[in-house]
Structure 1
Amino acid sequence: MEETMMTKRPKSLRRTKRTKKKRALRFLLLTMMLTFVAVILYGVSLFSKTQVAVDRAYEALDGRPTTINGKKIEPAKDNISILLLGVDDSEARGQEEASRTDAMLVATFNPKERDVQLLSIPRDSYVYIPEVGREDKITHAYAFGGVKAAVEAVEGTLDIPIHYYMEMNFDGFIGVVDALGGIDVEVPYERIEKDEKDANAIHLMPGEQTLDGRHALALARTRKLDSDVERGKRQQMIIQAMLDKASSIQSIGKYGAIIDEVGHNMKTNMTLNEMFGLLEYTKKGMPHVEMLTLDGTDDWSSGIYYYMLDEESVADVRYRLKKQLGLLSDSSRSQLSTNEVSNPMNDSPYGERSIYN
């Protein structure tokens, strides 16, 4: 009898072990299934949220090119340009004067080369503004006629078409940076800066650090200790830091909050499908981003500060942008004459005008 009992125990133990393994396997499969479902639901939720946000942000702009070589523009396949506008529409600004662009950047995309160029335009650049038919600071174009006037001024100065625009106010910028959990940048110097309420609210300290939205905005806006060009470089640095943070795995769970901020504080003439086209650039990792600047000189001769663009620098930037957009060949650089450099309105729909006169 004892032998019989002894021989049955191992079988019972084996059944118990098999049962435990099956339970563990079922638990693992259930966990994987629930995780997969959660990811799908999160993706659907994000898509729905994104659709609502983009619909809210969409604002068409008359007169923009909608075709390239007779075909509808597809950002995933075509070379395109986007004007990025950072607008100060705070209550303090609104009480005193019309909104102005505090940051103007042009991004050009070349899907074949997987290249992105990012040009920062100094806000005090003295250029011809078609909206009013005279020269002024390019930052004033937006105040004169909104996005349309800003786009026309940029097109005339750079002699390239602008296909899309994205306008973001300061609240949106602060909200996106905060939603990302801050951005990692190097602050070049100590600086006391204002925010929308207090003239001494922001205290920037030098060195590498993580900045929240308010401090990142202060760093992007300040120019008292250097120049408009250096401020443009800082803005490019901050955009790169935001892209790096947004593309990290740790930020995936923050996309919902980012979409909310963008939807409430951005305007654009890009549709959701067109935006998805830009995701092609990230499928093989982040694309190469080349930073461009416009050289020039400070001018106080009129009693008002202007940034006078250097004609050779303008010609060089125009060439780079046109090449990126596929508007000229490598051999075309030698054909750029001094006349073309000083007349950015050549071959544009706004007539022949110099950037200065």
Structure 2
Amino acid sequence: MWLVILGDTGLRRDLPFPVRLQRALMSSYAPPPAPYTPLGVSDRAARVRFRRAVTLVLMTLVLPGSAQLVAGDRRLGRIAMRIWGALLAVVLVSVLLTAAWPGLGLKAGTSPALLGLLRIVLIAVAIGWGVLFVDAWRLGQPLSLLRNHRLSLVGINGALVFVVVGALLFSAHVVNVQRAFWIAVAGDGDVAGTSEGRYNILLAGADQGAGRVGLRPDSLTVASIDARTGKTVLIGLPRNMSHFPFKEGSVMDKQFPDGFDCDGCMLNGVSTWAMDNTHLFKRKKQAGMVATISAVEGITGLEISYWAMVNMKGFRNVVDAFGGVELNVRDRIPVGLPHEASFHYIEPGVRTLDGDDTLWFARARHGSDDYSRMARQKCVMSALLSQVNPAKAVLNLREIMEAGSSMLSTSIPGSEFDTFISLALKAKDQKMASVSLVPPLLSTADPDIDVAHGAVEKAIERSENPPKKKAGGAKKPKPATDAVTGGSKGTLSSGYVANDTDDVAAAC
């Protein structure tokens, strides 16, 4: 028996027999069972601890600082709740003021200083809120939880931190993009007042980078905007006009007192001539645009308030950011050149075009002429103004701002951006009129400037004071034409409808 007890125990043989016997007996001793615990009590306690931990995290989501106030550092909780309350008060007051005076909201949304402050606040709130989430997780005593509860708590807290902090940091990024956009496109000129109650903005389009205004503009249009109602008249100027006068007393008027009558000189060449003779101008970098404005003022009789140069490549990106534009395509429009692999046609019909096709719709001349193209350009302008969706603009704000900063350079100072955004919103729901100084109204080779001035004045007068419908009488319809040339309704001899109308959208 002793051999059985002592032989198989693995005890050391060199120890005295009594010691070996004692150890053998102790090794065979079984400890008494643990005190009896009623089934389910420990599980319920674990669930209570888990619910408490989750509640602290959710309290931080709903009311930052409340978890610390009830289970942690009360001083930290009070500070966090006061900051949160102050932020909510600022947001509420801002919303109420914007609802009462929308101009204040536009002013704030276009102010680089306020946008910069908002960006800093968003980043600070993101960091502070993230710290509170981590502290709420700590207050939940995760090490006291069961393993599956601990993992669930980590997942819940991590998801909330990712969503809340991520959303705030992304918002800060969008605000910074918007701030950078306003800084990039803001002009450095002086604030210009209205001219006879209107803002006259020269819109020039060219294939160029923002700020480089010395190249030949591909298109020239004056948007004459009523400063009170936002009603707009688009005045189209043909790029091939020659023998026109400049504004009296301007640098170009002194160089060409009898009009722009040099060999091969046309309207779209004024900028190039000025950039070759910058010594004549005070602002040498802006010589091309200054000269072009003096030409436009001489031709139209209007005083130009500001100018905006649109880069066509950036324009394409902006259209894509808005999700395209719907246009009535009246004829096949070629996209690209026949030798290019991407060459194709925009087929007739009401179609939603992407940025590249919209650009070619506005610029294609194959099988067309410059004046049909000018009519299509007015259709694009009208469609963009009427179809811009504020909700979509908010969703794609970052893409629009990034594309727009490479699309636009302007002389409009940043302090005036809110004014023109407000006017654009007013113009959105109103008819847009147009007049183009092209055949058959006048000859572009030797234009009658008195006729040009009269046509502009008449178009503006009709926009400000539209003719009233006679009671009980039917409106005399205008002669209709079914002819379509180069994608525009009308012909070169009879004129294109969109170039001279009280409602561009209807003419398109």
Q: Write the mapping of 1:126-141 to structure 2, written as runs, cut at 5 A.
A: 126=242, 127-128=244-245, 130=252, 133=256, 134-135=260-261, 136-141=265-270
Question: For 1:42 and 1:321, how far apart are their aligned partners in 2?
Answer: 47
Q: Does the Cα contact within 8 Å between 1:128 and 1:153 map onto a contact in 2?
A: yes
Question: For 2:266 and 2:455, how far apart are their aligned partners in 1?
Answer: 19
Q: 1:263 aligns with which of 402, 405, 416?
A: 405
Map of 1:82 onto structure 2: 201
Question: For 1:208 and 1:59, how far apart are their aligned partners in 2?
Answer: 37
Unaligned runs of 5+ in 2: 1-54, 64-83, 85-90, 92-121, 123-163, 247-251, 275-287, 465-508
Q: Using a 3 Å threshold, how does the CA distance of structure 1 residues 233 and 51 change in structure 2: closer, same or farther?
A: same
**Once the 2 structures are TM-superposed, how far is the Cα of residue 312 of structure 1 from its aligned partner?**
6.5
Q: Write the mapping of 1:23-102 to structure 2, written as runs, cut at 5 A.
A: 48-60=176-188, 66-67=192-193, 79-89=198-208, 99-102=215-218
Q: Does the Cα contact within 8 Å between 1:108 and 1:321 map onto a contact in 2?
A: no
Q: Write the mapping of 1:178-327 to structure 2, written as runs, cut at 5 A.
A: 178-194=320-336, 198=340, 201-281=343-423, 286-288=428-430, 289-296=432-439, 308-309=446-447, 313-320=451-458, 323=461
1:106-160 C-alpha deviation (Å, 9 max, x unpaired): 1111132331111221221223462762233211122223211211111111111
Question: For 1:43 and 1:161, how far apart are their aligned partners in 2?
Answer: 41
Question: For 1:299 and 1:280, how far apart are their aligned partners in 2?
Answer: 35
Q: Write the mapping of 1:336-355 to structure 2, written as runs, cut at 5 A.
A: none
Q: Does the Cα contact within 8 Å between 2:186 and 2:414 map onto a contact in 1?
A: no
Q: Write the mapping of 1:103-114 to structure 2, written as runs, cut at 5 A.
A: 103-114=219-230
- Residue 434 of structure 2 aligns with an amino acid whose one-letter code is M
Q: Using a 3 Å threshold, how does the CA distance of structure 1 residues 182 and 221 change in structure 2: closer, same or farther?
A: same
Question: For 2:193 and 2:441, how far apart are their aligned partners in 1?
Answer: 39
Q: Using a 3 Å threshold, how does the CA distance of structure 1 residues 284 and 319 change in structure 2: closer, same or farther?
A: closer
Normalising by structure 1, we get a TM-score of: 0.65
Question: For 1:143 and 1:201, how far apart are their aligned partners in 2?
Answer: 31
Question: For 2:341 and 2:270, how far apart are their aligned partners in 1?
Answer: 27
Q: Does the Cα contact within 8 Å between 2:225 and 2:233 map onto a contact in 1?
A: yes
Q: Does 1:176 align with 2:318?
A: yes
SS at match of 1:101: coil
- Residue 318 of structure 1 aligns with an amino acid whose one-letter code is V
Q: Using a 3 Å threshold, how does the CA distance of structure 1 residues 296 and 183 change in structure 2: closer, same or farther?
A: same
- Residue 155 of structure 1 aligns with an amino acid whose one-letter code is E
Map of 1:338 onto structure 2: none
**Once the 2 structures are TM-superposed, how far is the Cα of residue 265 of structure 1 from its aligned partner?**
2.8
SS at match of 1:89: coil
Map of 1:121 onto structure 2: 237
Which protein has the bigger helix share?
Answer: 2
Q: Using a 3 Å threshold, how does the CA distance of structure 1 residues 282 and 247 change in structure 2: closer, same or farther?
A: farther
Q: Does the Cα contact within 8 Å between 1:100 and 1:142 map onto a contact in 2?
A: yes
Question: For 1:259 and 1:142, how far apart are their aligned partners in 2?
Answer: 28
Q: Does the Cα contact within 8 Å between 2:232 and 2:463 map onto a contact in 1?
A: no
Map of 2:12 onto structure 1: none
Question: For 1:30 and 1:264, how far apart are their aligned partners in 2?
Answer: 41
Q: Using a 3 Å threshold, how does the CA distance of structure 1 residues 154 and 309 change in structure 2: closer, same or farther?
A: same
1:57-78 C-alpha deviation (Å, 9 max, x unpaired): 23446xx783459xxxxxxx95
Question: For 2:356 and 2:370, how far apart are their aligned partners in 1?
Answer: 20
Q: Using a 3 Å threshold, how does the CA distance of structure 1 residues 166 and 176 change in structure 2: closer, same or farther?
A: same
Q: Using a 3 Å threshold, how does the CA distance of structure 1 residues 42 and 113 change in structure 2: closer, same or farther?
A: farther
Q: Does the Cα contact within 8 Å between 2:334 and 2:364 map onto a contact in 1?
A: no
Same amino acid, percent of matched pairs: 20
Which protein has the bigger strand share?
Answer: 1
Q: Using a 3 Å threshold, how does the CA distance of structure 1 residues 320 and 299 change in structure 2: closer, same or farther?
A: closer
- Residue 408 of structure 2 aligns with an amino acid whose one-letter code is M
Map of 2:301 onto structure 1: 159
Q: CA RMSD in A?
A: 4.1
Q: Using a 3 Å threshold, how does the CA distance of structure 1 residues 165 and 205 change in structure 2: closer, same or farther?
A: same
Q: Does the Cα contact within 8 Å between 2:322 and 2:392 map onto a contact in 1?
A: no
- Residue 401 of structure 2 aligns with an amino acid whose one-letter code is I
Q: Using a 3 Å threshold, how does the CA distance of structure 1 residues 66 and 113 change in structure 2: closer, same or farther?
A: closer
Map of 1:150 onto structure 2: 292
Question: For 2:326 and 2:229, how far apart are their aligned partners in 1?
Answer: 28
Q: Using a 3 Å threshold, how does the CA distance of structure 1 residues 115 and 191 change in structure 2: closer, same or farther?
A: closer
Question: For 2:233 and 2:170, how far apart are their aligned partners in 1?
Answer: 33
- Residue 229 of structure 2 aligns with an amino acid whose one-letter code is E
Greater RCO (CA < 8 Å, at least 6 residues apart): 1
- Residue 234 of structure 2 aligns with an amino acid whose one-letter code is L
